[in-house]
Structure 1
């Protein structure tokens, strides 16, 4: 078996020959100048930026702060002025405007402690089971067999009354 150094030198010699041959074997491309010119991404971005800057350079004769002030002024002019609204209301309504200072509070609805939450999946399932039981009871009722719509209407009204009294 050959030594490592000898193997390395052989490999180096053969690779250098291959490099020399590959460099010499490639002829010059006769159609090199026939290929279409392609613009790189950097060049495209640079061109776009230059066109944008040239457009902005011609139009921006007013400073940013003055533009902001103008916009703010225009917005304030568009807003309805309260004095004008009051005068127009008085003219249209006459003496019919009575300002009432009485304060009325709406009572908060109290949720029954035993009712399942309708925001959770389990709560919705419990509500569904309860409704199925009640509907089954309605279907078994003799009054439902005589007049189904009347029985449903009565049961719904009874449920609403029970819920309102429970609160």
Structure 2
């Protein structure tokens, strides 16, 4: 379950989460029943009930974590994308103002692609569908965030050395 809906994974729809839970529960109980035990049926029945209770407790915990991801997901991706949209839009307007319509068209195309990316990310996060695409968009935004941060640090250190 940790692989499917743990802390590092994006939101998983409730139906998919319950299906994963049912499958993992079934596998765990089958594994428990297959394993040789000492103490007889009555003794192992108590442990089976304990196992089922622990599985349900873990499922409740995973449900809470998963629901928290839907409501309070990482804000890094939308912030990075919206800032990128704003910067590209400003560049587009500046290029149009100076008469460089070819560069303005490139910026306009990039704005459109990033807008589609943001919509896809929002859809994926709210429904739990297209999880792999959502993870890829998150990685892209993280890389963008890190690279822009490095450039800002470099420029600020360069400006500091100049003064």
TM-score range, shorter chain: under 0.3
More helix as a share of residues? 2
The structure with more radius of gyration: 1
